[in-house]
Amino acid sequence: MALIACRECGKPVSTEATACPQCGAPPQQLAPPKLPVQPPPLQPKELIIYSDSSVAVTSTRVIIGGTIYSLRNITSVRMTFSPPPVGFPILLLLFGAFFLLLMIIFPFHENNSTPLPGFVLSGGIVGVSILWLCKLKTQYHVNISSAAGEIHALTSKNQAYVQRILLSVNEAIARHQ
């Protein structure tokens, strides 16, 4: 309980009194203190850091293939890779080499000369398997980690492209904080 001055007679009155005991005036209503008016927070402008036909990285979000990832949810980003599957082409190469060796060691023709179609077939198998092995490429991935887990957000055979995306997302994360 506090005492305040009556607004009519100026005598001390309890803040809990319903009227001034001296003059009967109703108690003074205390106005709540005025809070300073603050302007609404400014929305940061979205700055485009990187953009191409399928990826856009801005200062607030990452858009990859139509999927939007908010920067405030991304905890980290990293590049991983998947080596190409080389098992079947190597087996094909070994089969062709074995078939060619077999034809050289044990000719199938009566006059001890290896028939031309056998060489063409085994050489074709070896050639196709070598071309297949040369065309295989490592796949590189942009992995985005968040509280929900980690996903391959982008996959490409172009390592420089994936690194460019990775650097752009890292720059966006640094600007966002």
152 near 65, Cβ under 8 Å? no
Predicted local confidence at residue 101, as pLDDT: 84
133 near 96, Cβ under 8 Å? no
- Condensed to tens digits (0 to 9), the pLDDT of residues 113-151 reads 557 777 788 889 899 999 988 999 999 999 999 888 898
- Condensed to tens digits (0 to 9), the pLDDT of residues 64-86 reads 988 889 888 888 899 999 999 88
How far apart, in whole angstroms, are the C-alpha atoms of residue 141 and residue 162? 7
Query: What pTM does this model have?
Result: 0.59
Predicted local confidence at residue 7, as pLDDT: 77
Asked if residue 107 has pLDDT above 70, the reply is no
Q: How far is CA 45 from CA 38, 59, 61, in A?
A: 20, 8, 12
Angle at 91 between CA 90 and CA 92, to 5 degrees: 90
Among residues 7, 4, 151, the alpha carbon closest in space to that of 65 is found at 151
Among residues 177, 172, 142, the alpha carbon closest in space to that of 58 is found at 172
Bridge pairing between strands 67-70 and 61-64: antiparallel
